Amino acid sequence: MSCFGSTHTYKGQDYTKLKKEAQKKGTLFIDLEFPPDDRSLFYSQGKLADVVWKRPKQICENPKFFVEGTSSGDVKQGRLGNCWFVAASSCLAIHKDIWHKVIPDAKDQEWDENNPNNYQGIFHFHFWRFGEWIDVVIDDFLPTQNNQLIYIHSQTKNEFWSALLEKAYAKLFGCYEALDGGELSEALEDFTGGVSVTVNMVKLNLANDAQERAALFTRMQKEAGRKALMAASIPAESSEEMEASTETGLVKGHAYGVTAVKSVALEGSGLFSFFKTEKIAMVRLRNPWGQGEWNGPFSDGSPEWQKISKDEREKIGLTFEEDGEFWMLFDDYCKHFVETAICRVVNTSMFSLNKTWHEGLSHGAWKSPGRAGGCINHKTTFASNPQFIFDITESEDDPMFHLLQKSTRSAAGKENDTIGFSIFKVEKNRRCRIHDHTKQMFVESSTFKNSRSIFLQPALKAGRYVAIVCTFEPNIQGEFLFRMYSSSASNFKELTVDKPGLGCLNLCCCCCFGAGVRLVTQIQILKAEGLERQDVGSGADPYCIVSCEREKVRTKTVEDTINPEWNESVIFYRRNMRKPLKIQIWNSNVIRDSYLGKHVFTSTADFMDNIQTVELVGRGKNGEKKPGKLYIKVTQSRNLLAV
């Protein structure tokens, strides 16, 4: 399945059906769900006077949906403070495969000069919303003053795709005012269904760290090749700074679309120039206002361009028009911009020649009481949050995690909650919820922000993990979508069962049989020392098998050592406390594995974090002592919610 799945109608409006009805009546469509009046402009008191809603034919002659296709220059910001949406639209314009999804049936929606009676004044657009694609229908009435479009418009007066796209997006959120102020990542995600990350270049000290700067350039080049949508911004720190120009011509509180990331060749000079070409890292950006550009090195018409050959300038499509598009050295980019937003369109198709990802997706909610425990700072309630289990089956992987709160801009004055998540490595056979996160191995936490979405891409080794998603403060209620993308199948799912019971035979280990569980035992297999040398060289490739009643769990194999470190854990819900728990150590061989020793655990006492150093014995009941010691940490309790 690709990122572009099936589409659902918004407010039950079927585009094809409504268009046929208007055609049959011989009238132009009027959208009563988003009427051409102040209700569609504002959620607060009206702020614009003398607004006249007009159809494109009333604004100009020969209106067109597209004029010579789309380009980033087709999108110019109007009076609405939605440069985040405008910049995303500029990015959309240069990615044809994406805008064909967002703007479906482009040719069929175009005005037909030869058949004017086929035009019904109805359009539709697709947006991704929390795991599904929504088809939004609108009429073609647009707000104007003095016969000029108030909001987004094209540099070509008779081109209307960007204005109509903005109207459909405003309808999705309730009104135009709801788009005033926002995060660039929101629109990028809604155009693609992709996952967004915002890189803070100031916090990473990219202006002074050449190595980190080079790493970001390589990453952005790679993402540009993957057709990721990218943009940059300089956040304003006060209302006075909003949309204020800097000395370099860049604007604060404004988002710029990144339209190219290139290594550009300098014109050769000197004896060895024929054999060696020096390249400089550059980035091209576009101001969605359509004017106002960078005035530093390599700005339009600057003398630095003489260092670039004519062929190379033509190759990168250099122009010196006052169109809002400009080039910068990547060093200057990292010095003057603060944030870079990158939205990757995730390919999950199993039939693709490009890299594919395995998707895990779940809708959930923070509910109070019981499932809204706050962040890890709230130690007694944190584990009550929604939890998601997954496996990393490769030796290493860099899975992507994406948490979105289902906030809505239409709720006037309602800000996003501060959200995030933490990841723990858990027992290899865990199937029930975590109850004490301190008994697990903490791996990494995302940032906690009051953003609509949170992204994290950690480096994880093979094993089983649990992600706990939460709001920063406890007792905050809300709904969310949590997504995971990994290189191989992860068995991603929400954990809903607190402990073994009659209804969880498929969720818990087979030894518990649901009812009758009396004891929970968590064993952390830490390490061993001084094992028997059985192989040439380092002596052994040891692994452990831990068994309880009718379940067996195997640890990883540690190669070429008699002093292995495993740092893995297992958990058993035990019915028969008198039956022992056995830990065997084996040496992995090509033909047949050989025995290194065992320890039999028989205690039924309650204890927490008891570190034990135990001797190893042979296979029989009264087996001989074997070389080496095993280090384990045991948590055991009759309270099944202890771990």
pLDDT value of residue 63 = 93
The boundaries of every CATH 2.60.120.380 domain in the chain are: 358-495
pLDDT value of residue 509 = 46
Residues 324, 287: contact at Cβ < 8 Å? yes
Q: Is the pLDDT of residue 510 over 60?
A: no
Residues 624, 636: contact at Cβ < 8 Å? no
| Residues 574, 590: Cα–Cα separation, whole Å | 34
Q: Is 83 a catalytic residue?
A: yes
Task: Choose between 270 and 451: higher pLDDT.
Answer: 451
| Residues 535, 166: Cα–Cα separation, whole Å | 69
pLDDT value of residue 277 = 63
Residues 350-371, mean pLDDT to the nearest whole number: 82
Residues 633, 566: contact at Cβ < 8 Å? no
| Residues 592, 590: Cα–Cα separation, whole Å | 6
Buried b (16+ CB within 10 A) or exposed e, 203-215: eeebbeeeeebee
What is the four-CA torsion angle of 149, 150, 155, 161, rounded to 10 degrees? -70
pLDDT digits (tens, 9 = 90+) for 618-641: 987 777 899 999 999 999 999 999
Residue from 82, 124, 175, 287 carrying the catalytic annotation: 287
Residues 540, 531: contact at Cβ < 8 Å? yes
Q: At what angle do helices 161-173 and 83-93 cross, to 10 degrees?
A: 130
- Lowest-confidence segment of 243-252, 428-437, 607-616 by average pLDDT: 243-252
Q: Is 589 a catalytic residue?
A: no
Query: Which pLDDT band, with edges at 50, 70 and 90, does 68 fall under?
Result: confident
Residue from 126, 254, 437, 599 carrying the catalytic annotation: 254
Residues 528, 564: contact at Cβ < 8 Å? yes
Query: Which pLDDT band, with edges at 50, 70 and 90, does 154 fall under?
Result: confident
The residues near 533 (Cβ < 8 Å, ≥ 6 apart) are 539, 540, 562
120 to 20, 26, 45, 62, 108: CA distances (angstroms): 9, 8, 32, 15, 12
pLDDT value of residue 480 = 97
pLDDT value of residue 412 = 57
SS3 content of the chain, % helix, strand, coil (to 5): 15, 35, 50
pLDDT value of residue 502 = 45
pLDDT digits (tens, 9 = 90+) for 80-132: 878 888 888 877 877 777 888 999 988 889 888 888 778 999 999 999 999 99
Q: Is the pLDDT of residue 612 over 60?
A: yes
| Residues 300, 227: Cα–Cα separation, whole Å | 26
| Residues 347, 350: Cα–Cα separation, whole Å | 9
Query: Which pLDDT band, with edges at 50, 70 and 90, does 46 fall under?
Result: low
| Residues 358, 364: Cα–Cα separation, whole Å | 20
Task: Choose between 237 and 472: higher pLDDT.
Answer: 472
pLDDT value of residue 1 = 38
Q: Is the pLDDT of residue 361 over 80?
A: yes
Phi-psi bin for 242: left (phi > 0), alpha (psi -120 to 50), beta?
beta
pLDDT value of residue 438 = 94
Q: Is the pLDDT of residue 424 over 70?
A: yes
Q: What one-character DSSP code corresponds to residue 414?
A: P
Question: What sign does the dihedral 217-223-227-233 (CA atoms) show?
Answer: negative
Which helix (H) or strand (E) segment is 553 a member of? strand 551-554
In terms of CATH architecture, what is 358-495? Sandwich (2.60)
Which range in 507-511, 534-538, 580-584 is most confidently predicted, on average pLDDT?
Answer: 580-584
Which range in 254-268, 401-415, 562-576 is most confidently predicted, on average pLDDT?
Answer: 562-576
Burial of 40 (C-beta count, 10 Å sphere; 0-12/13-18/19+)? buried
pLDDT digits (tens, 9 = 90+) for 224-274: 887 888 989 887 776 666 667 888 888 887 778 898 999 998 875 443 444
| Residues 212, 201: Cα–Cα separation, whole Å | 10
Q: Which residue has the tokens 């020969």?
A: 62
> Strand, coil or helix: what is 419?
strand
Starting at the edge strand found earlier in the chain, the sheet holding 453-456 runs: 358-366, 478-486, 400-405, 453-456
| Residues 126, 190: Cα–Cα separation, whole Å | 9
CATH number of 195-269+277-344: 3.90.70.10
Residues 445-472, mean pLDDT to the nearest whole number: 95
Q: Considering the chain, what percentage of its residues have pLDDT values greater than 90?
A: 58
Cβ-based neighbour number of residue 24 at 10 Å: 9
Task: Choose between 388 and 301: higher pLDDT.
Answer: 388
> Strand, coil or helix: what is 198?
strand
pLDDT value of residue 21 = 95
Q: Is 470 a catalytic residue?
A: no
Phi-psi bin for 92: left (phi > 0), alpha (psi -120 to 50), beta?
alpha
Cβ-based neighbour number of residue 353 at 10 Å: 7
pLDDT value of residue 273 = 43
Q: Is the pLDDT of residue 57 over 80?
A: yes
Residues 138, 123: contact at Cβ < 8 Å? yes
Task: Choose between 75 and 596: higher pLDDT.
Answer: 596
Q: Is the pLDDT of residue 185 over 90?
A: no
Averaged pLDDT of the chain: 88
Residues 38-43, mean pLDDT to the nearest whole number: 90
pLDDT digits (tens, 9 = 90+) for 277-329: 688 999 999 887 666 789 999 988 889 988 888 888 888 877 766 667 899 99
- Lowest-confidence segment of 1-15, 167-181, 269-283, 321-335 by average pLDDT: 269-283
The boundaries of every CATH 3.90.70.10 domain in the chain are: 195-269+277-344
Residues 2-10, mean pLDDT to the nearest whole number: 73
pTM of the predicted model as reported, rounded to 2 decimal places: 0.86
Name the fold adopted by 519-637: Immunoglobulin-like (2.60.40)
Q: Is the pLDDT of residue 508 over 50?
A: no
Largest CA distance in the chain: 98
Which helix (H) or strand (E) segment is 400 a member of? strand 400-405
